[in-house]
Amino acid sequence: MNQEQTFSKIEQGRVIAILRGDFGGRESEMIAAMIDGGLTAVEVTLNSPNALLTIEKLAQEFGARCAVGAGTVLRSSEVLQVADAGGTFIVSPNCDARVITVTKQRGLISFPGAFTPTEIVAAIEAGADAVKVFPATTLGPGYIKAVRAPLSDVRLVPTGGVSPEMAQAYLQAGAWAVGVGSELLGKDILADQSFGTLRDRTAAFIQAMNPAL
């Protein structure tokens, strides 16, 4: 999946599922359930066990239907590892121009993290495709709306504490997509062997970000 295809795939669902932690080797089953719920993008955080192997496996199994990328990417060397594993987008909690530059050089999509308008602009000037606004839970939809007033061309991805109801509010405030972690992928979903709960949760987030569906 090239840059244009990855970007289009993420934009299709506007929800990036954040896979963080140890899920007992059931990641493929989980991704399959989320794709059934409409998911089109998942990031595996690099501070998860065997993250690169998980990215490689998911990219091979689901890469044609779902963009697979990496989160919590802090170093340029990690970008290279993700690219070699088959990941197609890079998400960071911070804005590091070196990471952004290497990401674009390797043909991947770049979503660095930022908190202030100054950081958001710095990320875009460094080559970011969109900016992860983190931690969004301390800011809220009103902040996204306010930032979008002078920076209307910037694609913002609020991440942190996002529920389906908050996702809808962020969309109305002008967010391009949302990043969703424990609100979607809490460890409680492992109790549902068929992952029907996870499929339904995913569908709720997708509906919130795509009300025309």
Question: Which of these is catalytic: 43, 56, 57, 104?
Answer: 43
Question: Which of these is catalytic: 9, 57, 104, 132?
Answer: 132
Angle value at C-alpha 52, between 61 and 119, nearest 5 degrees: 110
Q: Which helix (H) or strand (E) holds 200?
A: helix 196-209
DSSP designation for 140: -
Tokens 């399959």 belong to which residue? 32
Peptide bond into 49 cis (omega under 30): no
Q: Which of 120, 123, 118 is nearest to 103 (CA)?
A: 123
User: Residue 89: what residue type?
Assistant: F
- Asked if 112 and 96 count as a contact pair (C-beta separation under 8 A), the reply is yes
Q: Give catalytic status of residue 132 as yes or no.
A: yes
Active site positions, annotated = 43, 132
